[in-house]
């Protein structure tokens, strides 16, 4: 994401102009947008024209509209963002108050105006515009006949390919059909890797499976690379790392990212930091439950007591359309930061973020134990999006 212009007043009202440069930037923009914001962007509008003879025709024209945002729709797989609202500025093609849907486009600027830019949205802009925050991890989680190829970016976990091949069982005295099935499966996974992984960006490719599936696959992969003289695979061989997983399903990615050897290799990535923070929380919950709180009411009480060392919070909560509820989450983040605590905002599109959502989306590791707050009003479940 590129920041072209930023104009925010002392009362926190103002606007920013941004250019989304890659698919992930659409996810960041989705997290910046709120109902009643003002969005100005280039769009296509179908307009009716009448000729001097009275015949009516229609044509599609490109124009720039400013909408008061009413609904926001994000397609997580295609990374497409559509924003519907009413036109609030005079335009030769669109009447004031008329509805229109803008589909934001890569490499086309947009201007977003808000009455209140809080700390969470401003941090999101800083994160999106930081060139070091890029997708640098890919993972192939597999078992015989099933493989999921996933890109792990700082903001989301993207399933890029799912390979399913039926492999015949070994028969007594003959393994030919079984071996042919395996070879067909390995070939399909290899093609998925070549199609979906950008080796110029990705620093590490995790290959995970139960048993020896990962070993047999990588042996096949690099023997084929030698046979085909595939320089891309051969030059990037050091980036491949084999790790254990309990299955080939996507949910096994969490245990893969929690593996200490993987954590060390990926120590500079945001995803690994989130996974470690969640692991630390669960360890604390098991061994010192008075220092591990979850649920909005309990965590707020702990923050008021200056007890929060690390706050874990899902970005899903900041998409809440009820402004007082959203402001409550922002105040909690600001409170923890002002008192020297660490705040980790988890992406709801990461496996770790999905797990945090099960804890109502907010949890905290405390500096010192606090007795059970069973009387604390914990209405986080009613506050969820």
Say what the pLDDT of residue 255 is: 87
Say what the pLDDT of residue 382 is: 45
100 or 321, greater pLDDT? 100
pLDDT in tens, 40-60: 999 999 887 777 777 777 888
For residue 340, is it within any domain? yes
pLDDT in tens, 130-155: 765 565 789 999 999 999 999 887 66
Same domain assignment for residues 207 and 305 = no
For residue 376, is it within any domain? no
Q: Assign residue 206 the CATH number of its domain.
A: 3.30.420.60
Same domain assignment for residues 287 and 258 = no
Cα separation, 319 vs 29, whole angstroms? 11
pLDDT at 268 over 70: no
Same domain assignment for residues 214 and 142 = yes
Say what the pLDDT of residue 273 is: 75
Q: Name the DSSP letter for residue 169.
A: P
For residue 380, is it within any domain? no
Q: What is the mean pLDDT of residues 254-268?
A: 77
Say what the pLDDT of residue 302 is: 95
Full domain range(s) for residue 262: 136-268
For residue 230, is it within any domain? yes
Say what the pLDDT of residue 152 is: 84
Same domain assignment for residues 245 and 287 = no
Q: What is the mean pLDDT of residues 336-342?
A: 94
Cα separation, 232 vs 32, whole angstroms? 37
Read off the tokens for 355.
């797990």
Say what the pLDDT of residue 381 is: 44
Q: Above pLDDT 90, what percent of the chain?
A: 63
Domains identified in the chain, total number: 3
Say what the pLDDT of residue 63 is: 94
Total H helices, total E strands in the chain: 12, 16
Q: What is the mean pLDDT of residues 236-258?
A: 91
DSSP 3-state helix, strand, coil percentages of the chain (rounded to 5)? Answer: 35, 30, 30
For residue 211, is it within any domain? yes
């Amino acid at each position: 994401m590129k920041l072209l212009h930023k104009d925010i007043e002392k009362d926190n009202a103002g606007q920013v102009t941004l250019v989304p440069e890659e698919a992930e930037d659409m996810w960041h923009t989705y997290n910046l947008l709120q109902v009643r914001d003002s969005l100005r962007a280039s769009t296509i509008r179908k307009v009716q024209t009448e000729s001097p003879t009275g015949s009516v025709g229609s044509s599609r024209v490109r124009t720039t509209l400013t909408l008061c945002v009413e609904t926001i729709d994000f397609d997580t797989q295609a990374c497409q963002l559509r924003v519907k609202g009413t036109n609030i500025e005079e335009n030769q093609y669109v009447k004031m108050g008329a509805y229109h849907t803008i589909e934001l486009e890569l490499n086309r600027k947009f201007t977003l105006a808000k009455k209140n830019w809080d700390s969470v949205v401003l941090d999101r802009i800083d994160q999106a515009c930081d060139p070091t925050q890029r997708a640098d991890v890919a993972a192939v989680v597999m078992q015989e006949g099933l493989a999921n190829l996933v890109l792990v970016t700082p903001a989301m976990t993207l399933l890029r390919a799912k390979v399913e091949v039926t492999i015949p069982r070994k028969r007594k005295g003959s393994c030919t059909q079984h071996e042919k099935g395996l070879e067909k499966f390995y070939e399909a996974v290899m093609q998925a890797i070549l199609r979906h992984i950008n080796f110029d960006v990705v620093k590490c490719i995790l290959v995970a499976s139960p048993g020896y599936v990962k070993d047999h696959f990588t042996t096949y992969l690099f023997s084929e690379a030698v046979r085909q003289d595939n320089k891309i695979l051969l030059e990037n061989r050091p980036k491949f790392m084999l790790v254990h997983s309990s299955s080939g399903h996507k949910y096994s990615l969490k245990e893969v990212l929690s593996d200490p050897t993987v954590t060390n290799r990926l120590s500079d990535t945001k995803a690994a930091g989130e996974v470690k923070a969640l692991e630390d929380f669960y360890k604390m919950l098991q061994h010192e439950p008075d220092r591990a709180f979850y649920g909005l009411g309990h965590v707020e009480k702990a923050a008021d007591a200056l007890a929060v060392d690390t706050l874990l919070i899902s970005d899903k909560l900041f998409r809440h359309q009820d402004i007082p509820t959203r402001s409550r989450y922002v105040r909690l983040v600001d409170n923890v930061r002002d008192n020297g605590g660490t705040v980790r905002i988890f992406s709801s599109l990461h496996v770790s973020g999905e797990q945090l959502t099960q804890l109502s989306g907010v949890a905290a590791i405390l500096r010192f134990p606090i007795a059970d707050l069973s009387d604390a009003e914990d209405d986080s479940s009613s506050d969820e999006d």
